[in-house]
Structure 1
């Protein structure tokens, strides 16, 4: 829904605010202390975020002071995201009886305090979710909005925490991005050649996946991958996707990421991976089993729907967060998609992504998210967002061996649900996948590949039991894991035995 479509419905509110008396805030009543009239620097904002994470274990903009929130908006091009509704659970426009009135009231209030027209206020209004992106420059406006009972959250929409961290440390902006176009010659001990000349990664045998293929290969199930896209140079995820033992299936590729510094821009840069990470995730989840001599995916007969939703795995800034939100709502509305896998995240919550995930969850999707893979800026964080959400299944990676030990860069904690063996104890080698380039292979690791692997196992289970709900599939996976019925404090239910899960 664009600004133009909303203009007629909002025009009558240009000069008035129709909030109820208890919600209305008179401008004369808003007094800002002299010490709060200048915005904090980006470095000061990040320091407060880091302090909250260090002391409380998390940071949420809902708990931030008005001054901190306004400062972050100023340092992020004055872009603000507003989630609204009659309650905290009121996220879906189709289920909200008064969302149009509430949105108009809030826009009227913003225009009153900002002294700005609708065209200079509204960036976008989501078609499916009760949220809008707006331009706000005054702290008074934020204070007035926060006094409304119809506000679920107000967040800076374009504050780039990691970009600032990189600048502080004088690191390259892509540091820790998860991107790479490397290729590797696979060690013969890291795979087993299976008919008709495909490579089954060593880690699959740790989870009994090859034996599970005797019962299910994922046929009839569609997995949605939200990541950085798929390489146009990898035919295994293109013209050769429906090939060999993997016939009768489809791959669809979309893009929701807008490569622009301007929040008003809406033209995406396509579906093609320009990072390499998304290609690896699609490969481990569902690469074909054919005679090309390349690594096979867990659910090699499943369909794929891929989204290029972000530039890299760190969801920093307006267009990456918006791209992910839009990918979740699109997959939510795709009746063919059963499973969504996302191996990207942030160290604190993003309201619009939360809304997108809750929307997809309400549509019956089983959602897997990466528990976290350390960079120099995230090694002090536990399980990352959105893996900690109740609507998602959090996955991390562990080393091979009888004793559970997290992979060198993997995050653990009480929010983890499952683990995947993805790092060799001696060599340190990780999971063989098809690389960015055709007929080339590589190794990938971390909680990212663990998540895509688990999504593939879920496809095997659901394919074997096509009438099941997401809850039944998840329960079966838990029952087939090593710690069930208990949950380990760091590793959740542990490693899944795929064979038991499909029997």
Structure 2
């Protein structure tokens, strides 16, 4: 029996990625307190792993390499900061801040049908052409409940950057909800996602309370590049971020990963990070009447809008939940992007960006204009249109 949970979670999130080389110290720090720093080396200068390893071991800390930014995240006592900056070739040392999930309360609307979001962007009209088969979508979030009957077939693997293991099982629910919007299976029961044929990869960067480190976001993006993700969904963010996060997003996009992120849920005119970056598609939320959701952030960085109010999707325990937020709008766009990748409409590799930049332009051109004519700060190019994006035309 379907379990319906009416919640209203809006995540400002953070991602995680731990890389191929990890150093752990055997001694305890002098004061027992460690602080995480993101260390970036100058372009063209190799990461000085020996120096990082030496400091970590000396002061009871640890380090993880982040090759995507030519750097590392290092956990050492605060007084070691000067020593990190003194390492030859270091370009910058920044604090590795935390980001947190934010709850907004009950958003249920009894007048709205459960599957209105997928229907509103005309996803089902694209399924005669493609369901997204063969496209890899990374969900950078709290993990995925891969045992859910609507997600088991789509789940293809992932990594847990919080616990540093290969089991990214969701212990919060947010990531599972996002994953269902992208690719819940069309099996005659429950819900169906925008691109039910796509492959889902869980990149768990947020813990059970919905918080994580920026360095883990960088690590997740690095994993996405290494594993050939076509799309990375980031239903997370916060109001500030280390400069290294921009470098990671820019490099991942340049490597061919299309990045889609939530604009934020404070209703303010300040799009949060990482959606704020030019290399990321910033997604605003709309309600069932195509109006801007009251909580949806706005600004010149908004690129597309999508349904984000009272969205029913998969949840923990083989159940379902109704959630709202730009976190829910974002996977509608990520799923639409998966349909475009699979459709073959993007035929010309756009330089170093692979097909990602062309898919992005197709999504922009196919959007249904809302608000002021043309691109505006509330809806960007307009409401995502999965059918026109994937097929090049609209049916009536």
What is the TM-score of this pair, normalised by structure 1? 0.62
* Residue 431 (1) aligns with residue 335 (2): no
Tell me if structure 2 keeps the 8 A contact 1:382–1:412: yes
Q: Which residue number corresponds to residue 412 of structure 1?
A: 298
Q: CA, structure 1 residues 312+75, in 2 after alignment: closer, same or farther (shift >3 Å)?
A: farther
User: CA 1:279–1:119 in structure 2 vs 1: closer, same or farther (change >3 Å)?
Assistant: same
Q: Cα gap change, 1:117/1:400 in structure 2, threshold over 3 Å: closer, same or farther? A: closer
Q: CA RMSD in A?
A: 3.4
Q: How many angstroms does 1:315 deviate by?
A: 4.5
- Describe the shift of the 1:369–1:149 C-alpha distance in structure 2 as closer, same or farther (beyond 3 A): farther
Q: Which residue of 2 aligns with 1:214?
A: 128
Which of 125, 128, 133 is matched with 2:73 structurally? 133
Q: Give 1:297 deviation, angstroms.
A: 0.3
Query: CA deviation digits over 1:335-355, x for unaligned, max 9?
Result: 3x2111110112101345434
| Contact 1:230–1:253 under 8 Å retained in 2 | no
Q: Judging changes above 3 Å, is the alpha-carbon distance between structure 1 residues 152 and 447 closer, same or farther for their aligned structure 2 residues?
A: farther
3-state SS in 2 of match to 1:385? coil
Provide the secondary structure at the position in 2 that maps to 1:488: coil
Which has a greater percent of strand? 2
Q: 1-side partners of 2:182 and 2:98: how far apart?
A: 30
Show the counterpart of 2:12: none
1:75 to 1:389, Cα distance in 2 relative to 1, 3 A:
farther
1:380 positional shift? 5.6
Q: What's the CA shift for 1:451? A: 0.5
**1:278 is the counterpart of 2:158:** no
Q: Deviations over 1:402-460 (max 9, x none)?
A: 6xx3213221211111001333xxxxxx112122222x332122101110110001111
Aligned partners of 1:3 and 1:119 also within 8 Å: no
Residue 299 of structure 1 corresponds to which residue in structure 2?
Answer: 195
Would you say 1:486 and 2:374 are equivalent positions?
Answer: yes
- For 1:135-150, list aligned pairs within 5 A: 135-138=76-79, 141=82, 145=85, 150=89
Equivalent residue, structure 1, for 2:63:
124
Higher mean C-alpha displacement, 302-311 vs 268-277: 268-277
Secondary structure, counterpart of 2:230 in structure 1: strand
Shift, 1:139, TM fit: 8.2
Bigger drift between 320-329 and 452-461 goes to 320-329
1:82 corresponds to which of 39, 45, 50: 39
Provide, for residues 94-153 of structure 1, a one-character-per-residue CA deviation record: whole Å limited to 9, x for no partner.
xx3x314x666x759xx8xxxx685327621415232133325338817x938x994443
* C-alpha distance after superposition, 1:363-386 (max 9, x if no partner): 211110111123xxxx66721110
- Show the counterpart of 2:102: 176
Q: 2:328 aligns with which of 439, 449, 455?
A: 449
Worse-superposed segment, 337-346 or 205-214: 205-214
Q: Does 1:2 align with 2:22?
A: yes
Corresponding position: 1:202 with 2:125: no
- 8 A Cα contact 1:251 1:304, kept in partner: yes
Distance 1:499 1:107, change over 3 A: closer
In structure 2, C-alpha distance between the alignment counterparts of 1:275 and 1:122, rounded to whole Å: 28
> Aligned ranges for residues 36-435 of structure 1 at < 5 Å?
77-86=34-43, 96=44, 98-100=45-47, 118-120=57-59, 123-126=62-65, 128-129=67-68, 130-134=70-74, 135-138=76-79, 141=82, 145=85, 150-157=89-96, 159-160=97-98, 176=102, 190-191=113-114, 201-238=115-152, 241=153, 250-259=154-163, 267-268=164-165, 270-291=167-188, 293-311=189-207, 315-316=211-212, 320-335=213-228, 337-374=229-266, 382-401=270-289, 405-423=291-309, 430-435=310-315
CA distance in 1 between partners of 2:33 and 2:268 (Å): 24
Q: Report what 1:54 is aligned to.
A: none
d(CA) in 1 for partners of 2:276, 2:239: 10
In structure 1, what is the equivalent of residue 10 of structure 2? none
Aligned residues: 354
In 2: Cα distance, 1:448 partner to 1:232 partner: 19
Greater C-alpha radius of gyration: 1
Report if aligned partners of 1:332, 1:359 keep a CA contact under 8 Å in 2.
Answer: no
Instruction: Return the alpha-carbon distance in structure 2 between the equivalents of residues 161 and 463 of structure 1.
Output: 33
The structure-2 alpha-carbon separation of the partners of 1:220 and 1:406, relative to structure 1 and needing over 3 Å to count, comes to: same
Aligned to 1:31: none
Compare the two structures and name the one with the higher helix fraction: 1
Aligned to 1:27: none
> Separation in 1 of the partners of 2:249 and 2:230?
14
Residues 413 and 491 of structure 1 are in contact (CA less than 8 Å); yes or no, is this contact kept in structure 2? no
Deviations 1:226-251, CA, capped at 9 Å, x for gaps: 1111125522212xx2xxxxxxxx52
Q: SS of the counterpart of 1:417? A: strand
- C-alpha separation in 1, matches of 2:305 and 2:209: 20
Question: For the structure 1 residues 282 and 189, does the alpha-carbon distance in structure 2 shift closer, same or farther, using more than 3 Å as the test?
Answer: same
